[in-house]
Amino acid sequence: MDEEVEVEEERPGGVKFEVYGEEMIEKVVKKSGNSGRIYLPPDWVGKRVKIIRMN
């Protein structure tokens, strides 16, 4: 099932993205050593994802 997701930044000068996909999850990035980490469902392994930084 393709669903349309429109994302708009709340601040002036933000960028609008239009994305088609299967599922969407919103999470906060956690610290992991010198970088960040997001855990995703195991059935997403091997799938293509797009990450959009919201703020």
Residue 51 lies in a domain: no
CA distance 19 to 21: 6
Q: What is the pLDDT of residue 15?
A: 87
Residue 52 lies in a domain: no
Total number of domains in the chain: 1
What's the pLDDT tens digit per position in 1-55?
456 666 655 566 678 889 999 999 999 999 999 999 999 999 999 999 999 998 8
Residue 32 lies in a domain: yes
Q: Are 20 and 3 in contact (CB under 8 A)?
A: yes
Q: What is the pLDDT of residue 39?
A: 96
Domain carrying residue 38 = 3-44
Q: What is the pLDDT of residue 5?
A: 64
CA distance 20 to 14: 20
Q: Are 54 and 44 in contact (CB under 8 A)?
A: no
Residue 35 lies in a domain: yes
Q: What is the pLDDT of residue 24?
A: 93
Residue 49 lies in a domain: no
Residue 34 lies in a domain: yes
pTM, rounded to two decimals: 0.63
Give start and end residues of each alpha helix (H) in 2-52: none
Residue 55 lies in a domain: no
